[in-house]
Amino acid sequence: MIIDRLFKEVEDKGMVCIGLDSKLEYIPEELKNKYQDTGEIVFQYNKLIIDSTHDIAAVYKPQIAFYEAYGLQGLTAYKRTLEYVRHAGSLSIGDVKRGDISSTAEMYGKAHFEGDFEADFITLNPYMGFDSITPYLPYLESGKKGLFVLLRTSNPGARDIEYLEADGKRIYLHVGDKLAEMAKDYIGKCGYSSLGAVVGGTHTDEAIEIRERYQDVFFLIPGYGAQGATGKDARLYLKDGNGGVVNSSRGIITAYAKHSDGWERFEDYIRQAVLDMREDIGFEG
């Protein structure tokens, strides 16, 4: 199953998930001057990052909004990036956060698990109801695809809805309990399910409870670095250094910009940022 492959990637390479939130403002002028086409600029930027990190990063997560913003050229870059991740022998998470009625969800599944935008995992928003998730489950049954469903997110606004209580329990725990129940049908040999959850690393008060409550659920953990979560915070959501991947976007993909020779040593600085993050979280491989 796909989750067994992700578990092995974490075991071998560490728990870093590189968020490819590739804004033009982040890209070196030298690279922008080299190409005319926006899509080509973005893709070449991503390619350099992937080439310099694929042996030390568990997975790549392009956020589709950063590509949609550049129209057809941007979506072409998104497609080519996912293909290049596959070519590099790595795994991808299409961060699309879809959440719509079942007939629409079925078409989203075709787009992001079969079509031009095919990824190994995608992210979903469950707050329209769990019938917005069920159309994706046949892909999990195949063993070839996986999901990360929003459980408790890293943004400050998470408290607006996710922390409300119903029947004496926070909404995000209602969501998590239902996901954990569904996840049991897709458990891999590693002991985790291909139906995972997005759990923000910025809220540490509930970390131990969430990890213990959802033993079989693999976590996608955003919030590290620019959003405030530390390596110590992220470790709370892992089990023996596995059971989740920790995402960093700006902290890695703009690491070169802190140095006067950033472009000349672009790949070195990107790679070092990943190595530093692995060490901070506690990877011992």
Contact in structure between 191 and 201 (CB atoms under 8 Å): no
Contact in structure between 143 and 166 (CB atoms under 8 Å): no
193 phi and psi, to 5 degrees?
A: -95, 150
Neighbours of 256 (CB within 10 A): 23
3-state DSSP call for residue 32?
helix
Identify the burial level of 85 via C-beta atoms within 10 angstroms of its C-beta, where 0-12 means exposed, 13-18 middle and 19 or more buried: buried
**Element counts in the chain: helices (H) and strands (E):** 13, 10
Identify the burial level of 25 via C-beta atoms within 10 angstroms of its C-beta, where 0-12 means exposed, 13-18 middle and 19 or more buried: exposed
To which H or E segment does residue 95 belong?
Answer: strand 91-98
Q: Of residues 23, 97, 178, 239, which has the active-site annotation?
A: 97
Kindly list the distances between the CA atom of residue 237 and the CA atoms of 92, 134, 277, in Å, as whole numbers in the listed order: 21, 26, 16
| Residue type (1 letter), 56 | I
Neighbours of 164 (CB within 10 A): 11
Is 79 labeled as catalytic in the residue annotation?
A: no
> Judging by DSSP bridges, how do beta strands 59-62 and 16-20 pair with one another?
parallel
Q: Active-site positions?
A: 97
